[in-house]
A = this chain, B = another copy of it.
Amino acid sequence: MKRACINSNEIALLDKQVRVHLINGLGGFKSVSLVGTRSEIGTNNLAIFSSIFHLGANPPLVAMIFRPSPPERDTLRNIISTGFYTLNHINEDIYKQAHQTSARYDIEVSEFEAVGLTPEFKSNFPSPFVKESAIQLGVAFKEKVDISINNTTMIIGEIIEIHVPEDCLSKDGFIDLEKANTITCSGLDSYHKTIRLDRLSYAKPDKEVTSILAVE
């Protein structure tokens, strides 16, 4: 395998867009979801994010990163002003519409309407879910953390409502994301479905890991 080696100085000299593509890709495959919010005047907003990550299970926390002066400024404002948002997994049927939500629509435009996805309101949750998503999470805003090193903002939320297809839930709590058709992304614009290799047993120093699919 012939590897290119790129050092700090060379990274700094890259064309800005090339660097953005390159560094975004290096982190590996990413979670990608649609974030649903509602503005104070009642516009349903929807934006795609690939910067969402698991922060902890108890309490159930997820976090996401906003860039400085982000195009997703409506999402950030709505999260802070209303205190709630939804996370909706993206599947093969809707990934083009999902990507289209990243266009810079005017503030009064609902991306749901613009791209052709359906806002769903249920169980008195104040933000819109995406009806076409199999896995939908209702999240309550908990904390804003300013990351000074590059002027980004981390938003931490608590998952307070989970909607997940019954046949994707295992007894041990494992969620079969593939059965829910959840996809993943890489870089800025590449979308991928997945093929499961295996589920592996809890690792112990004196024991070889084994497949646990048979005992699921």
What 1/0 flags go to A168-198 for Cβ under 8 Å of B? 0111111101100011101111111111111
**Pairwise interchain contact B172-A18, C-beta atoms closer than 8 A:** yes
Q: B203, A103: Cβ atoms under 8 Å? A: yes
B62 lies within 8 A of A27 (CB): yes
Q: Are A54 and B190 in contact (CB under 8 A)?
A: no
The residue from B53, B99, B182, B194 contacting A200, defined by CB atoms under 8 A apart: B99
- State the number of copies, please: 2
Q: Can you name the residue of chain B whose Cβ is closest to the Cβ of A59?
A: B150
Determine if A137 and B26 form an interchain contact, defined as CB atoms under 8 angstroms apart. Answer: yes
Tell me whether A209 is interfacial, beta carbon within 8 Å. Answer: yes
Residues of B within 8 A of A198 (CB): 95, 190-191
**A21-B173, A22-B169, A28-B182 are known contacts; what are 18 more A-B pairs with Cβ within 8 Å?**
A8-B158, A11-B159, A18-B173, A20-B173, A22-B57, A26-B137, A26-B159, A27-B53, A28-B31, A28-B177, A53-B53, A56-B67, A56-B150, A95-B198, A100-B203, A174-B190, A190-B199, A191-B200
